[in-house]
Amino acid sequence: MKCLEYAGKAKEFLGRWRGTALRAVLCAFVFWAFLWGRVVFPLQPAVVLAFATMLGLLVAFELLLRDAPQPWMLGSILAIDLVVGASYLLWRQLQPPAPSGALVAADDPTPAGCGDTPGPGDLLMAFGTDRVLGKGPGPFTPILVDDCVALKLLRRDDGLMIQSFGYAYTEDIAFHVMDNVFEPDIALKMRMLRPDRSTFVLLDRFDKEVLYVRYLNPQAVRIRGRFLCGDAPQAVIRDDAILVGGVRLNGVFVGQHAARGHACASIKAGGYGVAIGSR
């Protein structure tokens, strides 16, 4: 009899809260869709505001379904905003300062190269399917996009330094990175992110990578990003491919294709690595 009684209570509980559970799942899906493709951490105010708003509306709607007084609904929204806002501010205060200065070598594995194993003083630079092996401390210029220098890397006693120039469609310099410091040259909605001491990330307003450099270990670097040179289509460097060509429509490139094959190069200090044709 007790089993039947418990089963009846469980069925009643599920029937009462099933709709609430479905609405909570729907809200979670909408929130995930809002964040899709974005870098969630460190938390941004827009993300926190969206979460507090959605949670407040969900709670208020549940109270409305249960014929709760209107002051309860307004009070729940205000209470959720207050708790979430105060928690976010407290979290921000407790965060350690973002890393700065040179990139410190991590302990990640070295990507597969082109047969040459990096020596004690060498630096393997991996981007897409291409590899450049630098001999000595540098500086190295592993990537050329058409006639533009995309990136320079220099090792110092305290770690790895990045130098990079970003170009606008007008062929003007849009931003530059000097010794791991980002400086915009025109009005840009971009932000620099140092998720750890070994990684440098530059994001656009849609939280898409413009430049990604990770100092994998003392002998290897991983590079990703999007690089422009004049009015030519951008070159998109991923971990497993390099996309070139395509047509720009309303600021978005369509019809890009993966560059064929892979290239390997070995360079000394001041040398140039692989030239990526963006057409």
Per-residue pLDDT tens digits for 240-256 = 888 887 777 666 667 77
- With b meaning 16 or more CB within 10 Å and e meaning fewer, what string describes 40-75? eeeeeeebbeebbebbbebbbebbeeeeeeeeebee
> Tens digit of pLDDT for each residue in 140-153?
999 888 777 888 99
Report the candidate in 101, 144, 137, 138 with the shortest Cα–Cα distance to residue 121.
137
99: number of CA atoms within 13 Å, CB side?
15
Residue 16: per-residue pLDDT: 65
Q: How many CB atoms lie within 10 A of CB 169?
A: 13
261 contacts 271 by C-beta, under 8 angstroms = no
Look at residue 91 in the predicted model and tell me its pLDDT: 78
pLDDT in tens, 151-186: 899 988 889 999 988 877 666 777 889 888 888 877
**Residue 41 scores a pLDDT above 60:** no
Q: Percent helix, strand and coil across the chain, each rounded to 5?
A: 30, 35, 35
What value, to the nearest 5°, has the Cα angle with vertex 250 and ends 249 and 255? 25
pLDDT at residue 58 in the model:
85
**Does position 108 have pLDDT exceeding 50, yes or no?**
yes
Q: What is the pLDDT of residues 197-222, one digit of tens each?
A: 999 999 888 788 899 999 999 999 99
Question: Long-range pairs for 28-35 at CB < 8 Å and ≥24 separation?
Answer: 30/54
pLDDT in tens, 120-132: 888 999 998 889 8
Write out the two tokens for 169: 């469609």
Question: For residue 94, what are its two tokens?
Answer: 């407790």
- Evaluate if residue 262 carries a pLDDT over 80: no
**pLDDT per position as a tens digit, 47-82:** 788 888 888 888 888 888 888 888 888 888 888 888
DSSP 91: H
Q: 171 — alpha (psi -120 to 50), left (phi > 0) or beta?
A: left
